[in-house]
A and B are shown apart, each in its own frame.
Chain A
């Protein structure tokens, strides 16, 4: 794993078309990466947001999601976002919907993405098709990538870190053949504020998860001074996490500085925790 390289906020966008991505690239100041890549990839200067243009269809969505994961060294606490247009006759043209259920021809079972809590944004059931569909009556939302994106993204992180957002672009009243590049860009642009609002939730989520799962501050410093086996490293991390809650690092460094071996470091830490008596009245 590449955890040590990850930034505090970590968002990965998977978007089928450049026109769908345009306003996102502009708003988050994402620039094309300076390397030859299988799919076009963009990132911001801080490398907290990465975006891949997947192209249309399930295979592209799956392959590009996996590719972006590997290329951008995404982590377990990276949030994954699929943004795009979709067909519908149930929703309103031009409106943004969150997806909380996905079906496809291929999957026998449906899948159930989580959505941002306490939101005023409407939610819909997405059907991912391999071919453009003109009969909108059976499904709430129709796209060509969502299910494949979710299937892969949910292998990379918990489903609470995955978000699918769709803007309705076509339906019985709005012929799919009339969709143009500029219409697509405008549809996404008109929903930019809502999209930013959703993304800020996922930014917070990945940052909080980073804070919770990051190794204790002293972990690498201690490991660089003594040799720890894999089992000892695990113990060291477990003890440091607990001690850090109630003891400052300087005191701890002072306590272990005369230790000769990793074994004695663990002994010192063990005895420190053994002596700790929680004072609940402080909290």
Chain B
């Protein structure tokens, strides 16, 4: 239940604003001038806000499409990302968003059409390159789909460009708009996974791993291409058993023909973000792990990282080809 919705004056009459507000009839609507008046101001407490986040409806002015950081790709020569939303409805303790913004409120940009224009321009400018776009870098790309309809909207652009890939990265079990559409071969539905036991402690408010796998299996059986993102890999006492069980279960329960890619990423935080996150949750079990500073990133020791990645990779090679496996390093 969202108790308060802040709406920028300029978009109060935007059809998408009205569409979204219809879904929150009991919420208090407060008019604001700019979303920056509320979002990410210094004097805010992320942890307290996260317990009861507000929604902010805003108009995005620029930076609709941005180059993805290096190490974010899944095989294309050029990678871009866009975010129609800032922040996430889930509360995963390893998520960099906790340290990125001082505010836990959700911002939704309603001017989707400006994303369309920017995406088309980017495609035109890079027509000779293999491109992948990523939706959901600053949010979960599908978690609020029933409210925003963004994925459904943006798919219509990618239908025109079947050679351009788009990845929706998510933990949600949102099946629409995909289930009621004809599968598109340039769309990758990428799911973040970790052993259920660890997820129960860290993926707060997110659907369980077993539910995610059921949805993956259903969408794969309909012909949608699936990405599996074991990112971050979380170290623990019996991590080998836990990851073996998870990987084997996933590979045995989805149609491997529909598997686009699998990626593995170690637990990592930029130093500044880690500082912010640790301040918010100093008693978090995750931070009792053997973490240290390596190349401006807080992460497990390199030996742990390499052992976990190669173990999971080797297990995966029994089911998939090496060229389907990628490393997430950002």
Contacts and interface: CB of A to CB of B under 8 A. Distances in A.
Contacts, number: 100
Contacts of B284: 245
Contacts of B278: 238, 241
Given A243-B288, A278-B288, A158 B37 contact: no
A123 B28 contact: yes
A242 interface: yes
Interface string A34-77: 00000000000000000000000000000000000000000000
Nearest to A270: B292
A177 interface: no
A280 B44 contact: no
Interface residues of B, number: 40
Interface in B148-194: none
A112 B38 contact: yes
Contacts of A250: none
Nearest to A211: B283
B288 A280 contact: no
Interface string A109-130: 1111011011000010100000
A159 B38 CA distance: 11
Nearest to B281: A212
A230 interface: no
B257 interface: no
A118 B201 CA distance: 26
Contacts of A118: 3, 52
B282 A112 contact: no
Q: How large is the interface on A (under 10, 10 to 19, 20 to 34, 35 or more residues)?
A: 35 or more
Given A123-B28, A276-B290, A160 B44 contact: yes
B33 interface: yes
B288 A158 contact: no
A214 to B, nearest CB: 10
Interface string A81-120: 0000000000000000000110000000111101101100
A147 B229 CA distance: 48
Q: Among B33, B43, B198, B200, find the residue whose CB has the most chain A CB atoms closer than 10 A.
A: B43
Nearest to B301: A274
Contacts of A246: 285, 288
A280 B198 contact: yes
A244 B30 CA distance: 43
24 contacts: A100-B30, A110-B33, A112-B6, A112-B30, A112-B37, A117-B52, A155-B43, A158-B45, A158-B48, A159-B41, A159-B43, A209-B45, A212-B282, A241-B278, A242-B282, A246-B285, A274-B301, A276-B290, A279-B236, A279-B238, A280-B197, A280-B237, A281-B238, A283-B201
8 nearest A-B residue pairs (beta carbon): A117-B52, A158-B45, A160-B48, A279-B237, A241-B282, A274-B290, A160-B45, A154-B43
Given A277-B236, A280-B200, A280-B234, 11 more contacts: A112-B30, A114-B48, A115-B4, A154-B43, A158-B44, A159-B45, A160-B48, A242-B288, A245-B285, A276-B290, A280-B285
Interface of B: 3-4, 6, 28, 30, 32-33, 37-38, 41, 43-45, 47-49, 51-52, 197-198, 200-201, 234-238, 278-279, 282-290, 292, 301
Interface of A: 100-101, 109-112, 114-115, 117-118, 123, 125, 154-155, 157-161, 205, 209, 212-213, 238, 241-246, 273-281, 283
